[in-house]
Amino acid sequence: MTAALLLLADGRFPAGGHAHSGGAEAAVKSGRVHDHVSMAAFLTGRLHTTGLTAAALAAAAALDPDAGALDAVDQAAEARTPSPAQRAASRRLGRQLLRAARATWPHPLLDGLKDRHPGGAHQPVVLGATAHAAGLTPADAAAVAAYESVNGPATACVRLLGLDPYLVTAQLARLAPALDDVTARAVAAARSGELPAASAPLLDVYAEQHSSWKVRLFAS
């Protein structure tokens, strides 16, 4: 199912991720991210905290797509998202991903998720359910979640700072071993039932600050 995996991970898949910076816009405004080096540090930190947590949630959702299990994973996602702004963004992204997924891979599992969560389930939960509907594995779901945790912010940094896209892509390539490691850890955690709660408090602060801005380039 390599083609399905590539399609789901493609930034052009109409799931709304292009409108979100994953905290990068606020980090740029604060001055913490201002060049390729600081961007690399930001991406690395994001991958090993919120990226790991999202990857494990996605793997858990793909591992056991029963309605009750999915709702339990959604509750776990809610508990691991302390920022109201991030919760809203996650559910909005989940709603957008579910719309695209139902059009691409029609499946009763996705229909049921929509019916039970009309306001949107958390994005990693929808990602895991989508992976199952597309015939992908929990590891595939975790890999996409881990990749999204750094690719979206990296792309945002190109737009926000005018960074060289070739150098930004090279940095993402250097993160490949860490992405594989996070994916493996996420799948192991999902299979053990001990989901991680790795957090990045500054991202929570950034999310709340960003949500109050009257002028911004990204939705989050």
Spell out the SS3 assignment of 23-74.
CHHHHHHHCCCCCHHHHHHHHHHHHHHHHHHHHHHHHHHHHCCCHHHHHHHH
Q: How confident is the model at residue 100, as a pLDDT?
A: 97
What local confidence, expressed as pLDDT, does residue 38 receive?
97
List, for residues 167-212, the tens digit of each pLDDT value: 999 999 999 999 999 999 999 999 999 999 998 999 999 999 999 9
* Confidence (pLDDT) at 2: 87
pLDDT at position 193 is 94
What one-letter code names the amino acid at 14?
A: P
Q: Do 21 and 216 contact (CB within 8 A), yes or no?
A: no
Name the percent of the chain lying above pLDDT 70.
100
Q: Which amino acid is at 213?
A: W
Closest by Cα among 145, 163, 142, 144 to 154: 163
Under the phi-then-psi rule, with left for phi > 0, alpha for psi from -120 to 50, and beta for the rest, what region is 128? alpha
Q: Residue 140 is encoded by which pair of tokens?
A: 């595939």
- Secondary structure (3-state) at 83: coil
Distance between CA atoms of 3 and 192, rounded to whole angstroms?
29
Going by the DSSP 8-state scheme, the letter that residue 194 receives in this structure is: -
Q: Which amino acid is at 54?
A: A
What sign does the dihedral 210-212-216-218 (CA atoms) show?
positive
Per-residue CA distances from 200 to 23, 42, 136 (Å): 11, 11, 29
Which pLDDT score is estimated for 18? 86
Rounded Cα distance between 32 and 60, Å, is 33
Of 96, 98, 97, 60, the residue nearest 77 (C-alpha): 60
Residue 51 has a pLDDT of 97
H/E stretch holding 201 reads: helix 201-211
Return d(Cα 199, Cα 213) in angstroms, integer: 23
What pLDDT, on a 0 to 100 scale, did the predictor assign at position 64?
A: 85
What integer pLDDT is reported at residue 55 of this predicted model?
A: 98
C-alpha 35, offset from chain centre: 23
Model confidence, pTM: 0.95
Q: What is the pLDDT of residue 95?
A: 96
Q: What pLDDT score does 199 carry?
A: 86
Using 50 as the pLDDT threshold, list the residues of the chain that sit under it.
none
